[in-house]
Amino acid sequence: MMNSYIWFIVLSVLVASFSQILLKKSATKEYPNRIREYLNPYVITGYGMMVVSTVLTVIAYTRVDFKNGPIIESAGYVIVLILSRMFFKEKITTKKFIGTVLIIIGIVIFYT
């Protein structure tokens, strides 16, 4: 039976993926000065979400085998690819698609 704390890592990956999207959204905007570039709602929320993600991961590693963490966290690449497509209309190239499929295959192989 899978440890319920694995869901903390899954949630951590989701939170980190959304935080990366917010940070990228901030990077696409122009700001009047350096202070506003780093102190705006996107950046503050994005880094806040990264802190939450880190806390969730630390909590999860108190009860989850370390071998499971990196495997689940690799799903973050897949999630960011999907979110980038949804929010930024980024093109999913053949290389990105193949890489994503390989990540998914690796996760499936690890857990079967």
pLDDT values of the chain reduced to their tens digit, one per residue, 112 residues: 457 888 999 999 999 999 999 999 999 999 999 999 999 999 999 999 999 999 999 999 999 888 888 888 999 999 999 999 999 999 999 999 999 999 999 999 998 8
**pLDDT for residue 2:** 59
| pTM for this model (two decimals) | 0.85
**pLDDT for residue 68:** 85
Q: How far apart are the first and last CA of the chain?
A: 13
**pLDDT for residue 3:** 78
Cα separation values, 20 from 50, 72, 75, Å: 8, 17, 14
Read off the tokens for 94: 């053949």
